[in-house]
Amino acid sequence: MQRTRIKICGLTRPQDVQAAVAAGADALGFVFYAKSPRYVTAAQAGALMSAVPPFVSTVALFVNASIDEVRAVAAVAPFAQLQFHGDETVEQCAAIAAAVGKPFMRVLRVRPETSGADLLAEEALCRAASPLFSGLLLDTFVDAYGGAGKVFDWGVIPAGLAPRVVLSGGLTVDSVAGAVRQVRPYAVDISSGVEQAKGIKDGAKIDAFAAAVRMADREG
């Protein structure tokens, strides 16, 4: 049976970390982008991450950050993985990842004109650029960078690429089972769809989201 991995992003409170872990999330995301309502400081993230049990991954999300900014966070918050969600070049992603010695996901913000060939080419470029590249995360292009709850046309994802991608962008408790059935991604990532208010997660929605993913997995 397929087991679609689950990432819950934009955690800001200890109770939300606990709720995500209890629901069986595989990865927890922390946003280090000061313009986001889900922004956490390195110190806040360090405290939140210290409550994360073994075998649950922690992801640090950056938008157009410098090497020094990422280094400063890494010194305080023991994240396992980077997520570059801005306009970073592949070379910048690779250089920052190498500087802190962590694997990275590169986010491709899908536009209406983005093609499946574009996605495959981007993945190949990233693989060639760095051994620290761990995969593509697909989100919807919006001016505000992310966490916007907007969906893109999943039909653009080539079937051969789908088992390696993290699918995000406007997923909800109601839509995620259909997304898993249609795309069969490696993982799904959600932020605003499991919130009661911006930056404040809803434990019941996190549970329902994880249950919907498991249901779609069981259906095969």
Sorted by sequence, the CB contacts under 8 Å of residue 89 that are 6+ apart come out as none
Q: Is residue 135 at the binding interface for ligand LGQLAAA5, with CB under 6 A as the rule?
A: no
Looking at 68, 139, 207, 217, which residue is catalytic?
139
Choices 29-37, 40-48, 155-163, 206-214; region in contact with ligand LGQLAAA5 by CB under 6 A: 29-37
For tokens 């069986």, name the residue: 24
x-or-dash pattern for ligand LGQLAAA5, window 140-179, by CB under 6 A? -----xxxxx------------------xxxx--------
Q: Give residues 43-72 in contact with ligand LGQLAAA5 (rule: CB under 6 A).
A: 61, 63
Exposed/middle/buried for residue 21 (C-beta within 10 Å: 0-12, 13-18, 19+): middle
Confirm whether 139 is a catalytic residue: yes
* Separation CA 104–CA 79 (nearest Å): 11
Q: Angle formed by the axes of helices 67-74 and 42-49, to 10°?
A: 40
Residue, CB closest to ligand LGQLAAA5:
146
Closest CB to ligand LGQLAAA5 among 145 and 186? 145
The residues of the shown chain that bind ligand LGQLAAA5, judged by CB under 6 A, are 9-10, 29, 31, 33, 36, 38, 61, 63, 85, 137, 139, 145-149, 168-171, 189-193
User: Which residues are known catalytic residues?
Assistant: 9, 139
